[in-house]
Structure 1
Amino acid sequence: MNFKLAVSSLATATATATATATVAAVAALLAACTPPAGSTLPGVVEAELVRVAAPAAGRLVALTATRGEPVAAGAPLFRIESPDDSALLAEAEARVAQLAAQQADLAKGKRPDELAVTAAQAAQARSALTQAETQLARERGLAREGFVSGTRLDSLTADRDEAAARLRELEAQQRVGRLAGRDDTRRAADAALLAGRAQAGQLRARLADKTVRAPAAATVEDTLFRVGEWVGAGTPVVNLLPPAALKVRFFVAEAQLPRLKPNDAVTLHCDGCAAPIEARIRFIARSAEFTPPVIYSREQRAKLVYLVEAWPAPADAMKLRAGQPVDVALAGAVR
């Protein structure tokens, strides 16, 4: 009986010792994760969201982004369509075709049929000139014999000169008809064609841009429209939260400013965090402000404080949530 009692007492003592050791280990772990009272400043986690907007006005026809889901860089988020865009592109392409045809027409000169008409008129004028010269030569022979007056010779000479001038005119028209358009006219046509092609290319790019993609790997924080709704140009449709977009904002008193410099490290403590998180200071306000009306702890006595912002590493930032209160320890701030 005494033996059983001794064994029972030994077992009880062993269990008590084990429980005590466990409690001590947990207490030590909590002590490692919890900063000493009064050695920290209250802060809050804030997110710098990436607001992905529609490049142009249109109707939201597809929304592939899901709230709370991660997206890869370049993944489609949503698509906007406008009924006017396709019509505008078709009009621009037709305009380009018209300008190209006009440019080609200026480079060719007159059409073959038009040149043929001018050639026939020149042949007719050449025949008339030959006939006028023959008639003038015959009348001159008769004039030497006294059968034709000087007035008659003057009239025939004028007819011959008129026929020669008409032939020269038509031959000049033939040469001009074979030429292309004037240099200034052709340059104007070239410029108009380039402008038309640029406009058509811009419309094609705008149609392609209607599918908006994620600029970087992130988590979809919120979607602001539903499929079928009209979205204005430049209006955000999806809010993204990249891993590096979480920061901690906290306020320090003037006496603490000399301890802080950009790129200094601070330590963040939060409820539920397995271990402290390191963050780097990127911003320190130059001007003071009054203590915010909503403060993140029960102990805040400074009347004038300075805003400080610190960023944790992207891997550590994923452990935090926007709006989460944290304790910021400055004692370990180092260069």
Structure 2
Amino acid sequence: MLAFAALAGCSREDAPSYQGYVEGEFVYLSSSQAGTLTQLPVRRGQTVDSGASLFALESGNETAALNQAREQLASVRAQLHDIQTGKRPVEIDVTKAQLAQAAANARKAALQLTRDEAQYRAGGISKGQFDDSRANAEASAAQVRELSYQIDVARLPGRHQQITAQSAQVEAAQAAVAQAQWKLDQKRVAAPAQGRVYDTLFRVGEWVPAGSPVVQMLPPQNVKVRFFVPETVVGALQPGRALTIHCDGCAADVAAHITYVSNEAEFTPPVIYSNERRSKLVYMVEAHPAVGDADRLRPGQPVAVTLR
């Protein structure tokens, strides 16, 4: 019976494992604006939270441009308000005083015209003097009407076309403020997600061209494992299938699930960590561990994958 049990134990085969390696999909963080690197509060290997400050560039020019845009916006807004409200009450009071003076002159001219008309009929004055008196009375009355109209116009807001044009100026100034604010914000870059700072590519004081990466990050969700299976196995693999990742130095195996199965065959894997397992025709498979387990793996690390 003992011999039979020993024979049965020898006949059991462990689940096959497949060689692979850890790969990281790095995030290269840069600014769309050029400038001198003034702040770099992170270092290689440091884990940062989402929203943490990574680096900052010199921003004096962008700050000045933003202040200028804000002042221009305040100016065009004030002009729009002035057009919409018409003249100030004090200016209208000046026109009212001129109207009162013109009305007094018109009454005086009307009385003079009445007297001159009686004198002209009596033959006391010439026709020319009477015509002058009548013209003066008409001019005085016209001046009264003119000032009355000026008061009505002073109370009116600007014309619709003027208000529309000035409103467009306000919108253009608002867009300039938003553009200047965006450029200023680009001088400070924060972490888009929690992750490890894999490398820093510039030092404080160096000139950073626009678009040049300053910090290389590796978020945990971007850590994956690539391994290779023979043609006889690939047909049974589907995204979502569970597997176990074993690595040297890991305290325990890491659980993961398949996220991608290649449709194209390869003759040999690009990196081979075991000389005793080679297939003439293999397929690449990718798997992602849980976010909480990703820190246990390092890019380039050889692993062995066991399917569940």
Is TM > 0.5 for Structure 1 vs Structure 2? yes
Identity fraction in percent = 46
2:106 to 115, 129, 147: 129
Measured in 2, the distance between the counterparts of 1:272 and 1:72 equals 26
Q: Which residue of 2 aligns with 1:322?
A: 299
Q: Which residue of 2 aligns with 1:302?
A: 280
Which amino acid letter does the alignment assign opposite residue 196 of structure 1?
Answer: A
Contact 1:277 1:312 in 2 (8 A): yes
SS state at 1:60 partner? strand
Measured in 2, the distance between the counterparts of 1:151 and 1:86 equals 75
Measured in 2, the distance between the counterparts of 1:195 and 1:230 equals 33
Q: Which residue of 2 aligns with 1:312?
A: 289
Q: Which residue of 2 aligns with 1:20?
A: none
Residue deviations 1:198-233, cap 9 Å, x none? 543553465355333223332211111111122234
Q: Structure 1 residue 41 and structure 2 residue 18: aligned? A: yes
Contact 2:230 2:279 in 1 (8 A): no
- The 1:135–1:215 alpha-carbon spacing in structure 2 relative to 1, beyond 3 Å, is same
Contact 2:39 2:55 in 1 (8 A): yes
Q: Which residue of 1 aligns with 2:202?
A: 225
1:59 to 15, 21, 36: 36
Measured in 2, the distance between the counterparts of 1:293 and 1:114 equals 86
2:180 to 195, 203, 214: 203
- The 1:50–1:150 alpha-carbon spacing in structure 2 relative to 1, beyond 3 Å, is same
Shift of 1:302: 2.1
Measured in 1, the distance between the counterparts of 2:239 and 2:117 equals 113
Shift of 1:128: 3.4
Measured in 2, the distance between the counterparts of 1:118 and 1:71 equals 69
Measured in 1, the distance between the counterparts of 2:66 and 2:119 equals 78
Which amino acid letter does the alignment assign opposite residue 302 of structure 1?
Answer: K
Q: Which residue of 2 aligns with 1:96?
A: 73
Shift of 1:164: 1.5
User: What is the RMSD of the two structures over their aligned residues, measured on CA atoms?
Assistant: 3.0
Q: Structure 1 residue 252 and structure 2 residue 193: aligned? A: no
Tell me the matched-pair count: 295
Measured in 1, the distance between the counterparts of 2:292 and 2:117 equals 114
Which amino acid letter does the alignment assign opposite residue 105 of structure 2?
Answer: A
SS state at 2:235 partner? helix
Residue deviations 1:144-164, cap 9 Å, x none? 334556665455433322322
Q: Which residue of 2 aligns with 1:16?
A: none
> What's the TM-score once normalised by structure 1's chain length?
0.75
Which amino acid letter does the alignment assign opposite residue 77 of structure 1?
Answer: L
- The 1:131–1:274 alpha-carbon spacing in structure 2 relative to 1, beyond 3 Å, is closer
Measured in 2, the distance between the counterparts of 1:324 and 1:315 equals 18
Q: 1:128-207 to 2 correspondence within 5 Å?
A: 128-147=105-124, 153-200=130-177, 203-204=180-181, 206-207=183-184
Q: Structure 1 residue 212 and structure 2 residue 186: aligned? A: no
Residue deviations 1:81-116, cap 9 Å, x none? 233112102211221232233234334433466445
Shift of 1:289: 4.5
Contact 2:106 2:141 in 1 (8 A): yes
Larger radius of gyration: 1
Structure 2 stretches of 5 or more lacking a match? Answer: 1-12
> What's the TM-score once normalised by structure 2's chain length?
0.81
